[in-house]
Structure 1
Amino acid sequence: MIRHRRRPLPWPAAGGGAGSARPATAGERSSPRLLEEPVWSAMINGRSVGYAAQREATESDMRVMQLLHAVSMGANVLPADMTDPADDELTYMRAYFHRVVGSRDSETFYMLNPNGNNGPELTITFIRI
């Protein structure tokens, strides 16, 4: 779950009535796209399990992606000698995810079973609150 709080405007809309509009000023921006948020709070079954932050891929990340370029689907573990020496081993999962945008504040990714049976294997949901 992404935790991002919107702030109310510090001034009323022009005219002050319902349905009235005010012109946008040069300094105003809309909120960033949902997956462009810099930090995420992860929750499983309503309990906080940690945080994640967006970052650029390192050389080690790129080597791992090159190792896995021929893998179309599956999950496995790469031994320590094939990954970053600071890490012991790397567990990976590669699959087809179906993306569903519920609104500008929610997106869900469904990992689909390759056999097409019994619905999604895994669901990841991002919600801006």
Structure 2
Amino acid sequence: MPSYINMGPTPTHITAEATTVDCHKQVRTWRLLRAIMELLIPTCNCTFVHETDHNQLPTTINNPKPPPFSSASFLTGTIFGYKKGKVKFCIQSNSTSTNPILLLELAVPTTILAREMRNGLLRIALECSLGVGPTNGKTEELLEMPVWKMYCNGRRVGFAVRRKPCKADMEVLKRMKNVVVGAGIVSGKEIGCEEDDIMYLRGNFERVCGSSDAQSFHLIDPDGNINQDLSIFFIRSR
């Protein structure tokens, strides 16, 4: 026999009052979520281009002609920063490259980000609006956008800013050129800073391009040595 829950004598009230919803904010939030999900869950028709061997033709899946996007490649990523300063995220073609593809100064201090990473899970979402190049009128490449709204594990934390690597940044990267995967501390004295040391996490990242307005970088930890699930999403709204 079916069972019923006795709700008691209390009557049920139905309110007819209007509820205010910030539709604009909700739409933007769902748009950001949808773009992230498209990067996390590729469709069966996606084409993955592996660029680890430049002497071979790209490997494709279900499509002999790769589209301009929906591709994947593998790069070196480094999160580093002074203990008393803000953290930076750097992407290089490999660990010894002297010409970073991207250097971002994130909105959070190094110690705060390290605390967020203690649980082994870190999701950073960076969102920007469509921009136009200052000279030729063409749309800027996604990773060339100068300013990003930053979300860390679902919380809005401020802005991330694209920076040109300074001399100190290049010295830090030079000190870590022999580190392919790992985490540690670089002595500030080695780069001329007597007052503070630099914390870093470095590893291989898989770069996934969903479209001209959506890219993501996912830390690869095949042996479990880093013990960190880390993804960084770049989303541009139009």
TM-score by length of 2: 0.40
Structure 2 CA distance for aligned equivalents of residues 84 and 50 of structure 1: 30
Shift of 1:28: 7.1
Structure 2 CA distance for aligned equivalents of residues 86 and 39 of structure 1: 31
Q: Partner residue of 2:144?
A: 36
Structure 1 CA distance for aligned equivalents of residues 159 and 223 of structure 2: 33
**Aligned amino acid, residue 75 of structure 1:** A
Q: Partner residue of 1:76?
A: 184
Structure 2: 5+ residue runs without aligned partners?
1-125
Structure 2 CA distance for aligned equivalents of residues 42 and 57 of structure 1: 20
CA separation of 1:102 and 1:87: change in aligned 2, threshold 3 A: farther
TM-score by length of 1: 0.70
Counterparts of residues 1-129 of structure 1 (less than 5 Å): 1-5=126-130, 29-85=137-193, 88-115=196-223, 121-129=229-237
Structure 1: 5+ residue runs without aligned partners?
8-26
Q: Partner residue of 1:10?
A: none
CA separation of 1:41 and 1:68: change in aligned 2, threshold 3 A: same
Structure 2 CA distance for aligned equivalents of residues 54 and 44 of structure 1: 17
Shift of 1:77: 1.6
Q: Partner residue of 2:99?
A: none
**Aligned amino acid, residue 46 of structure 1:** G
Q: Kindly, what percent of the aligned residue pairs are identical?
A: 34
| Contact 2:127 2:236 survives alignment (8 Å) | yes
| Contact 2:216 2:231 survives alignment (8 Å) | yes
Secondary structure of the corresponding residue to residue 129 of structure 2? coil
Alignment coverage as a number of residue pairs: 108
Computing the radius of gyration from Cα coordinates, the structure with the larger value is: 2
Quote the RMSD (CA, aligned, Å): 2.7
Shift of 1:91: 1.2
Structure 2 CA distance for aligned equivalents of residues 5 and 87 of structure 1: 40
Structure 2 CA distance for aligned equivalents of residues 121 and 84 of structure 1: 33
Shift of 1:86: 7.3
CA separation of 1:47 and 1:87: change in aligned 2, threshold 3 A: farther
| Contact 2:131 2:140 survives alignment (8 Å) | no
| Contact 2:187 2:198 survives alignment (8 Å) | yes
| Contact 1:108 1:125 survives alignment (8 Å) | yes
**Aligned amino acid, residue 98 of structure 1:** E
